[in-house]
Chain A
Amino acid sequence: MALAEKRKGCGAIIAVFLGDGTLGEGVVYESLNIASLWSLPVVFVVENNRYAQTTPLALNFAGDFCLRFKAFGIEAREIDTTDVTVIREAAEPIVTAVRNAGRPQALILHTYRLVPHSKGDEVRDSAEIERYRQFDPIRVLRSKLSDAEYEDALAAALSEVNEAFAQAEGDPWPDPAALLNAREELLKL
């Protein structure tokens, strides 16, 4: 996508979100090399939530987050916060730099996952999870907002979520016939 935008010359940039677990896959490093080599406008955002499904970072990850990017000539910065206002301040110059220079950069966010990866796979110490609950991004933001601002934001978010649920629950189940017809179309060469 970034290569397409670069070739079109329209100034758009691409944000790629990765996790600490994703960094295990070899294709990540092939992509970092090419993004740098070809000067592609990509912001790599690594959300290090300290667990790859159930596996803690210590059993998953060697070395240093920023150095992995720097090894490919990609500037990288890391911050340890769940405060969206701080993340915004850190991201803004990176986004601007990628837009202006047309080169990739990386932002590493050290964070935490407050809920399980999936159903029935919570094996973490509950005391640890409780310790991190004070960093819940909503709780952190709450302290920076007036009561009225908070209530407005909460109402807007709830109404969006509720509308999505209402629509999903109200919509009819999809019709298998449409899928099978699409398959027939595919077969016409």
Chain B
Amino acid sequence: MSTVLQALNEGMHEAMARDERVVFLGEDILDPYGGAFKVAKGLSTRYPDRVMTTPISEGAITGIATGLALRGMLPVVEIMFGDFLSLTFDQLLNHACKFRWMYNGQVRVPIVVRTPMGGRRGYGPTHSQSTEKHFMGVPGLRVVAPNALCDPKQLLINAILSNEEPTLFVEHKLLYLCRLEQTAKSQQFEITHSNSSLLNQLVSVQIAGAAIADVTIATYGYMAELVLEAIWRLATEQEVFAEVIVPTCLSPLDITPILNSIRRTGRLLTVEEGAVSLGWGSEVLSLVAEGIPQASRFAGRRLGARDLPIPTSRPLENAVLPSVQDIFDAAMRLAATK
């Protein structure tokens, strides 16, 4: 059974095989090293002319990718750690995402910036963050995150080959080693896939054979793994049942499936690994508040990292990042509201 890492590596290989306009830039991506997290493995051997290892110049390579895209290429950029995305921000915010609109639709900038994100490996404050919230809501930018329940390979291929807009592709570091569609999981859980669009592979999960859910949990990426652990405990220990909605396109976000679920449960918990303030959950709750009929009430909570830099020390990192227990507790508090 393959892992998310293998799926993403295969996705890169297939995208480069299917379209010779795909070029790949990043730091330390040449074989035999094959990139810090090995998504690039084998690419430089197979496509030496289309894989370019770069100096440590994140801003420049994002700008170069933008130029390549304007001249008809399909560039993929790997930023070694999501923390370093800050160095690409000006190129994305003020250039790549604006050109289609500044030039009245005459150009497109189909670039994909891929990056490993997230903590729980003791990498400390500058190699552990989930910085995607700073990119969500940038007009013209799509923020996409695979998870172990979806088809990461196809998602990446779609982002590269079937998508004309600048896209940030967020890969959680712990997700890489997760196995896809575990058999055990499919016995515990009822997993429903609905491919609502090329970039939004919607997955919803319930406890198999459960009664009507008490709580809706919206989450993405690696946090879906922790949420599944938590909802199993909620069901078996407390007879509290949750319905989990896991989109892959985080921004812009299709709120409809989450709204549909809240109509059944009346309660929404959002779960993300990034610092909670002004994060993805804040936007989800806002969209729900606007989208829900005025007469119907709902209770909402957000769970994310505490608003602090991520410590290196294991017990402190654990205290800052949201855990299975935190999800369990937040869902219990929410389930207690009428």
Contacts and interface: CB of A to CB of B under 8 A. Distances in A.
Interface string B86-115: 010000000000000000000000000000
B55 A24 contact: yes
A52 B315 contact: no
Contact of B56 (A25, A123, A175): A25
B33 A123 contact: yes
B57 A24 contact: yes
Contacts of B28: 52-55, 121
Given A24-B55, A26-B60, A121-B36, A183 B313 contact: no
B306 interface: yes
A161 B215 CA distance: 53
Interface stretch (B154-162, B194-202, B253-261, B316-324): B316-324
B72 interface: no
Nearest to B56: A24
Contacts of A189: none
Contact of A179 (B36, B55, B319): B319
A25 B33 contact: no
Contact of B53 (A21, A59, A175, A183): A59
Contacts of B48: none
A121 B31 CA distance: 11
A61 interface: yes
Nearest to B87: A25
A54 B31 CA distance: 10
Contact of B315 (A22, A54, A123, A176): A176
Interface string B72-96: 0000000000000001000000000
B17 interface: no
Contacts of A52: 27-28, 55-56
A134 interface: no
A26 B182 CA distance: 45
Contact of B313 (A24, A26, A55, A174): A174
Chain A interface size, under 10 / 10 to 19 / 20 to 34 / 35 or more:
20 to 34
A71 interface: no
Contacts of B27: 52-53, 55
B235 interface: no
Chain B interface size, under 10 / 10 to 19 / 20 to 34 / 35 or more:
20 to 34
A60 interface: yes
A170 to B, nearest CB: 15
A26 B33 contact: no
A97 B46 CA distance: 53
A176 B319 contact: yes
Contacts of B314: 173
A146 B277 CA distance: 61
A183 B309 CA distance: 10
Contacts of B33: 54, 121, 123
Contacts of B307: 183
B1 to A, nearest CB: 24
Contacts of A24: 54-57, 60
B56 A21 contact: yes
A55 B17 CA distance: 25
Contacts of A180: 306, 319
B206 to A, nearest CB: 33
A175 B57 CA distance: 38
B56 A179 contact: no
A175 B33 CA distance: 38
Contacts of B318: 176
Interface string B281-319: 000000000000000000000000011100101111011
Contacts of A174: 311, 313, 315-316
Contacts of A26: 57, 59-60
A179 B53 contact: no
Contact of B55 (A61, A123, A176): A61
B316 A60 contact: no
B32 interface: yes
A173 B315 contact: yes
Nearest to B318: A176
Interface in A15-29: 21-26
A152 B167 CA distance: 59
Nearest to A177: B319
Interface of B: 27-28, 30, 32-33, 36, 53-57, 59-60, 87, 306-308, 311, 313-316, 318-320
11 contacts: A24-B60, A26-B57, A26-B60, A53-B36, A55-B53, A55-B55, A60-B56, A174-B313, A179-B316, A179-B319, A183-B306
Smallest CB-CB A-B distances: 5 pairs: A24-B55, A176-B319, A24-B56, A24-B57, A54-B33
